Amino acid sequence: MRRSVMLLATLQACAGAASREPARRPSVILLLTDDQRWDCLGCAGHPILRTPNIDRLAAEGVNFRNAFVTTSICAISRASIVSGRYCRTHKVGDFNTPLPPAVLAESFPALLKRAGYRTGCFGKWGIGPPVPRDIFDVWDAWSGQGEYFLTHGGERVHNSEYLARRAEQFVRTTPADRPFCLLVLYKSPHDPYGQPDPRDAGLFKDQAVPVPRTATAAHFDKLPKFIQSSEGRTRALKFYPTPDRLPDHIKDYYRLIAGVDRSVGKVLDVLDALGRAQDTVVVYSSDNGFFLGERGLSHKWLMHEESIRVPLLVRYPAAVPPRRVDDLALNIDIAPTVLELAGLPVPAGMDGHSLCPLLEGRASAWRQDFFYEHHFHFGGKIPRTEGVRTADWKYITYLDVEPPYEEIYDLKADPFEERNLAAEPARRDRLESLRARHREYVAKFGSAVLPSPPRRNP
């Protein structure tokens, strides 16, 4: 009986219940981390990292186990998340460009504010200035990277703790009969070395961390020269110049995620304390993934799984029963999903799709692939890439190489992407079909958005 009631509520929520009174619409919290790959959560089966509060979201909500970003770099991905658009259509190609006014006006926070929501934004907005203070009732965010340690109430605290306190204050000061939209935008675990909360500094101290299978000289040697000399390699040598330094780097990355988990717990606790958990949609995700030494690289940008695959959890206890979903979900799907759950129309300009059919388990037809683009080249130090990922295959083309360098991977047989099949005659038909699909996407979305100088460190 309870399941039937919940399913009915989901159908109503996902059908765009425009007749609801504004005060009855669900509140929305977006918890967004920076550079967190999909497999670094307890609920993802991580062997040593424990994230009980985030795992609670997965257990009580919908866990999208195949979620991806369409551009793996923070400013552009964050623009995609709030706008529901690819880079090519939101037009933010670097760290100095804001969302165009027309796109910002159709972002999900702006639309919820116009619908009567109280809106708040805390943390790393990450998109170029000027910042959009006018679409938020409470604003304490920044365009750049921000700092790991901030002052709150006269006390120096870690970024994740600071954001938990600001979020708690926002929820507590919102009238009980008014829905809210809250963005909590973490800095963690970006550039992790030596930056965790002191409370987490001892975590994993005496534990052996799993070093990635492809973090070997042999895998680095197989890379084309233009990737061997790219910014991903430069950053790797900065953070772990010798292989023995890599485990400490990974431990700090885990420690920062542990700090985020504690912060998430505080946000969930205040919802429980105020009786708002049932009617609040909580979305947990990240702006992109992160290389932890795979192929001798650091950071993100490229189209490998470690860089583009992210966690995506959606909890809405009043209407959405817990489930796991393996269909392809994207960062550009978050905005239309939030709007549909709030009973608001989804703008035609959004490229993403509402996840409501997957939330309720009724999707009979869903995307079979998606388009990836990355044109922020950091003065030529980051290879520009595009490609297509399906459920089982991946096509990558590097655009600044003549002729363009291509890769295809059979992800089912080769999940670690160790064998590029692009040059194998037996895979010629597969290569041609993926090339054709890439051309279709380029024709659909038009010319790439290139970064404009001056450039800021990504």
Q: What is the arithmetic mean of pLDDT over 296-306? A: 98
Paired sense of beta strands 309-310 and 67-68, if any: antiparallel
Within a 10 A sphere around the Cβ of 208, how many other Cβ atoms? Answer: 9
Give the pLDDT of residue 14: 55
Give the span between the Cα atoms of 83 and 6, in whole angstroms: 29
CA neighbor of 338 nearest in space, from 170, 155, 119 = 119
Read off φ and ψ for residue 315, nearest 5 degrees.
-120, 130
Give the span between the Cα atoms of 294 and 296, in whole angstroms: 5
Within a 10 A sphere around the Cβ of 198, how many other Cβ atoms? Answer: 10
Give the span between the Cα atoms of 60 and 62, in whole angstroms: 7
Label residue 403 by pLDDT band (50, 70, 90). confident
Q: Is the peptide bond before 453 cis (omega within 30 degrees of 0)?
A: no
Give the span between the Cα atoms of 199 and 101, in whole angstroms: 42
Give the domain 2-16+24-355 fold: Alkaline Phosphatase, subunit A (3.40.720)
Q: What is the pLDDT of residues 181-224, one digit of tens each?
A: 999 999 999 988 789 999 999 999 999 998 999 999 999 999 99
Q: Which residues pair with 32 in a beta bridge?
A: 185, 285
Q: To the nearest whole percent, how much of the chain has pLDDT over 70?
A: 94
Say if residues 335 and 83 touch (Cβ distance below 8 Å).
yes
CA neighbor of 66 nearest in space, from 285, 310, 287, 284 = 310
Label residue 22 by pLDDT band (50, 70, 90). very low
pTM of the model: 0.94
Residue bearing the bigger pLDDT, 392 or 1: 392
Label residue 361 by pLDDT band (50, 70, 90). confident
**Of all helices (H) and strands (E), which one includes residue 406?**
strand 405-410
Q: What is the arithmetic mean of pLDDT over 74-99? A: 97
- Give the range among 10-14, 251-255, 335-339 with minimum mean pLDDT: 10-14
Q: What is the arithmetic mean of pLDDT over 345-369? A: 94
Label residue 287 exposed, middle or buried (CB < 10 Å: 0-12, 13-18, 19+).
buried
Give the pLDDT of residue 192: 84
The domain limits of the chain are 2-16+24-355, 370-445
Label residue 451 exposed, middle or buried (CB < 10 Å: 0-12, 13-18, 19+).
buried
* Exposure string over 116-125, b if 16+ CB within 10 A, otherwise e: ebbbbbbbbb
Q: What is the CATH number of domain 370-445?
A: 3.30.1120.10
Q: What is the arithmetic mean of pLDDT over 134-154? A: 94
